[in-house]
């Protein structure tokens, strides 16, 4: 029995990680509800006239957080407490989503009454994520998965995220740099400035690291893969909802959000391919 326990891919989430996840989720829920119900939660940018597109986008994002990401966080954390390997890894992906989302909300304008909720949400998600990753035995997880999961497709997805995302932002950044167009961004431009930094500094490296490690058959790749995939599902749905909410609010077609739905769709298919053999292996281990 000692050898079987030693080869378990995930250890139970610590009490501290669970508590931090609860606080992060509670803050995210409160911030999301306030954003959806109170127009003063997201003041208009100084250069906007009439329709508050920033509020509409924040509401679309908050709707996905409240309706999908937070229930997923709760479900996965409960599953992880019961010993579910897939639940543990999916829980890490939701924590990555909360980290990105509320770090962005905290450091991007506007400064609002929800600021401290944003800070507390990502401040609690980060250590919970670190502790959750530390509880994963990457080598044991690699053995549990075997060869029956879409390793190459997941690697290609990660590399695509890591390459295409920077390409989307670097054109404008390089053009401004070459032109010497420096200064203090404000309004919507300031929000974009923060998004570019987080995408280039967090999302793109996660995608590249996942792809490279998977292609090289390094155990760390199977730890990063579910984090990337679950985060991409939540992020993709939030991005789609954000675009649709802004389009509808300004009288444009909600079909503008259709291209953005490709990301969560692909991530969902790959996530199903990852978690299915993992749970089968877990069931066999429990029976044995």
> Taken in order 263, 269, 271, 273, is the CA torsion positive or negative?
negative
Preceding amide of 110 cis, omega within 30: yes
For residue 157, the model assigns a pLDDT of 98
pLDDT in tens, 164-180: 999 999 999 999 999 99
**pLDDT band for position 7 (cuts 50, 70, 90):** low
Give per-residue pLDDT as tens, 194-250: 999 999 999 999 999 999 999 999 989 999 999 999 999 999 999 999 999 999 988
- Tell me what the pLDDT averaged over the chain comes to: 90
* Tokens at 255, concatenated: 């079909």
Single out the residue of 227, 222, 79, 77 nearest to residue 146, CA to CA. 222
pLDDT for position 1? 32
Token representation of residue 242 = 């954000």
State pTM to two decimals: 0.92
Q: For tokens 């770090």, what's the residue?
A: 103
Q: How far apart are CA 143 and CA 40, in angstroms?
A: 51
CA distance 204 to 199: 6
User: What does the pLDDT average to over 273-282?
Assistant: 77
Q: Among 158, 252, 172, which residue's Cα sits nearest to residue 208?
A: 158
Domain boundaries, the chain: 11-287
């Amino acid at each position: 029995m000692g050898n079987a326990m030693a080869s378990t891919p995930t250890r139970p989430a610590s009490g501290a990680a669970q508590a931090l996840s609860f606080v992060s989720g509670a803050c995210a829920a409160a911030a999301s509800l306030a954003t959806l119900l109170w127009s003063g939660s997201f003041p208009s940018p100084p250069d906007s006239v009439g329709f508050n597109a920033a509020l509409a986008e924040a509401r679309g994002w908050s709707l996905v957080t409240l309706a999908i990401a937070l229930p997923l966080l709760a479900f996965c954390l409960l599953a992880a407490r019961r010993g579910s390997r897939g639940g543990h890894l999916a829980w890490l992906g939701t924590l990555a989503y909360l980290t990105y989302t509320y770090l962005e909300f905290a450091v991007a304008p506007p400064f609002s009454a929800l600021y401290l909720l944003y800070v507390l949400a990502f401040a609690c998600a980060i250590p919970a994520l670190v502790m959750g990753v530390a509880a994963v035995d990457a080598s044991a997880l690699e053995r549990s998965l075997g060869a029956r999961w879409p390793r190459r497709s997941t690697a290609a997805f990660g590399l695509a995220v890591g390459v295409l995302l920077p390409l989307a932002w670097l054109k404008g950044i390089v053009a401004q740099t070459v032109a010497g167009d420096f200064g203090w961004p404000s309004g919507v431009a300031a929000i974009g400035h923060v998004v570019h930094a987080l995408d280039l500094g967090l999302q793109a490296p996660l995608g590249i690291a996942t792809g490279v490690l998977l292609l090289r058959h390094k155990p760390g790749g199977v730890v990063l893969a579910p984090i990337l995939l679950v985060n991409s599902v939540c992020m993709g749905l939030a991005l789609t909802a954000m675009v649709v909410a802004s389009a509808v609010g300004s009288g444009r077609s909600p079909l503008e959000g259709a291209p953005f739905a490709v990301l969560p769709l692909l991530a969902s298919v790959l996530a199903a391919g990852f978690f299915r053999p993992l749970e089968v292996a877990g069931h066999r281990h429990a029976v044995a």
